[in-house]
Structure formats: structure tokens, C-alpha cells
Amino acid sequence: MLFNVRNFVNVAKLTGIRKQLLRQFWSGPPAQMSVHLKGRDLLTLQNYTADELKHLLWMASDLKQRIKHKGEYLPLMQGKSLAMIFEKRSTRTRLSAETGFALLGGHPSFLTTQDIHLGINESLTDTARVLSRMTNAVLARVYKHNDLDLMAKEATIPVINGLSDLYHPLQILADYLTLQEHYGGLNGLTITWIGDGNNVLHSIMTSAAKLGMHLRIATPRGFEPDLRITKITEQNSKEYGTKLLLTTDPLEAADSANVLVTDTWISMGQEEEKKERLKAFKGYQITMQTAKYAASNWTFLHCLPRKPEEVDDEVFYSPQSLVFQEAENRKWTIMAVMVSLLTDYSPQLQKPTF
């Protein structure tokens, strides 16, 4: 997988400056806030500081409390539209974005490969510029992360990663909100990943240490996370004083874990590798035997859809499984992202403990 971290960071910085200047031109100076995310892209959690991640989770908690529990109507997206570009099928990402944006009074427009072919019928550059004139934000679920980089560079509106081959930031925000709700905080938790070194893991790796969480990763040989992201993770762990373990032994990784996490072993586009992958991941199924090595307060997460070879029914449907709360929180966290990137709204709820 080709990925130049230095160039990516430079592009992200230049894009952010460009959008900040454009926003100030039209709307004047931004409001004085400790965290101000309006106009930003969300392509990877690596580009967000610890305070910015906490702000997004605080925003999600606030919206969930006010809308779901208090029954308030907050038309924060009224008059705004969202372009949703999906090269890959989806249940949770599509539903959470569509229903969440509409619940806030906005208009989401869903575009599949039958409606728009990124870089085929029209260049990515032209697509980004057209969408910037017709909508207020773009959420794109794509095969190639480089496509998101180019869109963000050319667009004058926020571009949000709904999933790419490299990252899945929206999923991890939902995971963190779920853990914060369950444990009352994130700092000091140990997350254990048992499975493929994929995009979901990459998003955990680039953010967990910023929130004070330790990370233990077990992947089969040949299925490790991207080396460049591993180096970033090692730097983050050192900077924030957290522990990091990479191993091929699932039980070693599970030792003293508060959170057991896995995901599909065969991502979309890898179907031809199914036989090889099932063989390589033998012994990586999460079971109650795995959980015996974890901490007494262990919980289980999975981004769904789940297959039995990844985790057995006893764990998946156990009281320790938070997967359906996790799925619901996809909605509240994506709403938090939209509100943060498109408005000056500040959470009214007291800031949770992280």
C-alpha cells in the first residue's frame, strides 16, 4: 500500500489554511472557542488533537442527550445539504449519515456508482469543485484513500471520510463514545485488537494514545497494520505515555484487556482472498476462552456486519457485548462531526470525563 505520510500531512495543512481563509472571507473571524473545527476536513483521526477528539465526543453526547433523551428539535443543518458518495455498499454509515443529517434539518443526497463515477466520467478535481458549489459538505466512502486526499485538496467545503482502504474514523468515534458511556471515561483503558491489520485498526492506532488508552494488537503474520501507521502509533504512544504491544498471539494480546475488538477478516474487494485469509486467521476467533485472559470488566466491540468465525455467539450476544449500542452511536458521532464542521454550535451539556 503506497502512502506518503509527510505529503499527506502537508496537503491536509494547506487545505485547512485554504478553507479557513475562505470561511473568514464570507463569514468574518471565527467565534472565540477553545476548540474550533468549523470548515475542517475529517479524513483521519491522526490530524485531530486530543482536545479536538474529546470535543467531538462531547458534542455527540450533547446531541444524544438533547435530541434522544430530552426530545428537543435542533435544526442545526436547516438549509444545508450533504453529498454522500458511496463506492462501497453500507448499512450503518449510510443510515447514520442520512437519518442524522435529516434529523438536524438538512438534506442528504445519496450518490452511488450508478450516479457518479469518481475520476471516470468526470475528474475528481471537477467533481470536488462542482459539489463545493452545490452542497455544504461531502461524505465519501471510497476504495482509495488517495481519492479523498485529492477531493479535500480541491474542495472548498469539508470532506469527510466515510471509509477508505486506509482509515475508518467515523467508526472509531462511535467506539470511543460507546466506551465512554460504559466505563465513564477512556483514560487508562486497554484496548485489544484481534484480527486483520485493516482500516478500522489504523484509526484506533492513530487516536487511542491521545485519549490515554493502551493498545494491544494481535494479527497473523503477513496481515500486520501498515508499517507507516505503526511508526506513527509508536510515536503517539511515547508522546502520551501509553503502552503498545504488537504480537501474533491472540491470547497474549487479550491479557488484562478492558475491551476486546475485532472486525471482518475479509474486507470488500478481498473476496478472492477468502480461502487464504480463513486459513491464516485460524485461532483468531474471539470466544469466552479469549475473554478469560481479559480484565474482569471486559467488553466486546465489532463494527458489523459480523461473521461467526470472527467471534462466536456466546461472546457476541453476551451482556459484555456493546455492539448494538456501538452501532447506534454511529449516528450521534456522525451528527457531532457535521455540527462541528458546519456550524458554530457549542455543546450545552456538561463536558464528560475522558
List 83, 303, 334, 341, catalytic entry? 303
Length of the chain, please?
354
CA 118 to CA 131: how far, in whole Å?
Answer: 12
DSSP string, 117-180: -BTTTB-HHHHHHHHHHH-SEEEEE-S-HHHHHHHHHH-SS-EEEEE-SS--HHHHHHHHHHHH
175: closest CA among 160, 157, 192? 192
Q: Which helix (H) or strand (E) holds 86?
A: strand 81-86
In angstroms, the CA 303 to CA 201 distance is 11
| 303 catalytically annotated | yes
In 3-state terms the chain splits into helix, strand, coil percentages (rounded to 5) of: 45, 15, 40
* Strand-pair partners of 140: 85, 161
What Cα–Cα distance (Å) separates residue 300 from each residue in 216, 232, 286?
A: 14, 26, 9
Q: At 174, list the grid cell.
A: 462511535
* Region label for 262, one of left (φ > 0), alpha (ψ between -120 and 50) or beta (otherwise): beta
Q: What is the SS3 assignment for 44?
A: coil
Q: Decide if 137 contacts 157 (C-beta within 8 A).
A: yes
Q: Which residues 6+ apart lie within 8 Å of 121 measured at CB?
A: none
- Annotated catalytic residues are 303
